[in-house]
A and B are shown apart, each in its own frame.
Chain A
């Protein structure tokens, strides 16, 4: 279980997270929605310790993440970055198998490569991309390689930052199914950021909407359509008029 209590983060004079409290039960899929620039990515980075919150407590299974053993903590996580963040000096398969080629999870190279190719297949990429460099791939392909890398070591907790942005609808469907499968079959805990409402419905157990530095609404996905919250209504219907300003 991941628990955030009163998390705050300010960059210079830009207050991004004012007071975020949220609970993600173990083995469930939480989807974060919210306008671009509202701090969704920053929120995930706070949990991972890539960004240090100014205030608030983040705990994993009841233990404060700032006091936890960093290596053991990170070993449980996988993360897909918004921009894929592939290592451009390494070929695709070495990106996917990064964790399996070094450190405590190290495997023989041939075996790591096998696993990488299998993970690439799961995100809809053919084995022949394995030896290409990330710079030779399209944005959507890079995103899927990033996804394969995030799931390669079969982590317990996986964060997906806009997994279907830049993908065609069919490939987006493949990725949605994959994320759902990871949660239901492998029992992983997932936290996904997306703007794509069909993704939300396909992936989510619970939904949280981040707006103006706070969790504006959170609840099971089935209640999203009857939340009675004007912010959520405007967001899911995609109206330009409403409480959320179109110019931010």
Chain B
């Protein structure tokens, strides 16, 4: 082994990473192109909206309510160290809407939706169902990928909005129930404090994270290797990639919105 071997390894790693970035970008562009050109499959879109949106509501709601409640407790006890307990409503609102709502909903969608899309499409690939689609004159990008990505782009911002509200309610419940806050004042403080940009950033993040989650599921599913092992790898890879990309995108979007 020569002294240059580690440098070679770094180079190969970098090239491999760059080529996957390229492939994912091309895949995303192709998905977008198929989304706007007919034929469209409204039935597939409806099923995807149901799966990604409606059926994710319980997990999103539970995640948000516990997070909001814990956040209120933390801020109250942290704030007490410098006599700032009163900021609970404001910080819960900001924390949920700007950051925790979109990120936690995004991660939950990565866990729930990305994994199921990847496993489903990978299984279809492994059992030749994707080949069968092609021979039945149906484009897999149009029939499988476009409806799922479009559904995620439409419905995950809504889920984030709902998550934000439920999270704030979780904080409200704890604050008024056990921390002695006045109910009307808590709500007024929350509403007065939030600015339109906070809410817009939350929904834009939701849209971006939803797109990432669905795209990663589809991409890894379509790239799946052969056999049960291929399906397992595709599923694992899709969730890892979606989670990391959602957190990275969250950082970039937060920077873009709030460091102006």
Contacts and interface: CB of A to CB of B under 8 A. Distances in A.
A50 interface: yes
A185 interface: no
A103 B131 CA distance: 17
Interface string B116-130: 000000001001110
Contact of A74 (B41, B124, B129, B137): B137
A50 B135 contact: yes
B127 A83 contact: yes
A85 to B, nearest CB: 4
B131 A74 contact: no
Contact of B137 (A83, A86, A88, A99): A99
A147 interface: no
A88 B130 CA distance: 12
Given A74-B137, A85-B127, A103-B138, A79 B39 contact: no
A87 B135 contact: no
Interface string A78-93: 1101110111100000
B80 interface: no
A160 interface: no
Which of A98, A102, A103, A104 has the largest count of B CB atoms less than 10 A from its CB? A102
B136 A98 contact: yes
Contacts of B39: 102-103
Contacts of A232: none
Interface in B65-117: none
Nearest to B40: A102
A74 B128 contact: no
A74 B135 contact: yes
Interface in B39-61: 39, 41
A104 B134 CA distance: 14
Contacts of A50: 131, 134-135
Interface string B124-155: 10011101111111100000000000000000
A99 B136 contact: yes
Contacts of A104: 137
A200 to B, nearest CB: 24
B138 A102 contact: yes
Contacts of A98: 136, 138
A152 B80 CA distance: 73
A147 B136 CA distance: 13
A77 B136 CA distance: 8
A75 interface: yes
Contacts of A86: 129, 132
Contacts of B136: 74, 98-99, 149
B137 A79 contact: no
Given A50-B134, A71-B137, A74-B135, A102 B129 contact: no
B28 to A, nearest CB: 22
B173 to A, nearest CB: 40
Contacts of A74: 134-137
Interface of A: 45, 48-50, 71, 74-75, 77-79, 81-83, 85-88, 98-99, 102-104, 149
Given A48-B135, A78-B135, A88-B127, 18 more contacts: A50-B135, A74-B136, A75-B137, A79-B135, A81-B132, A83-B127, A85-B128, A85-B129, A85-B131, A86-B129, A87-B124, A98-B136, A98-B138, A99-B136, A99-B137, A102-B39, A102-B138, A103-B137
Q: Would you list the 9 A-B pairs with minimal beta carbon distance, nearest first? A: A85-B128, A85-B132, A79-B135, A50-B131, A74-B137, A81-B128, A98-B136, A85-B129, A99-B136
17 contacts: A50-B131, A50-B135, A74-B135, A74-B137, A75-B137, A79-B132, A81-B128, A81-B131, A81-B132, A82-B128, A85-B127, A87-B129, A87-B132, A88-B129, A99-B137, A102-B41, A103-B137
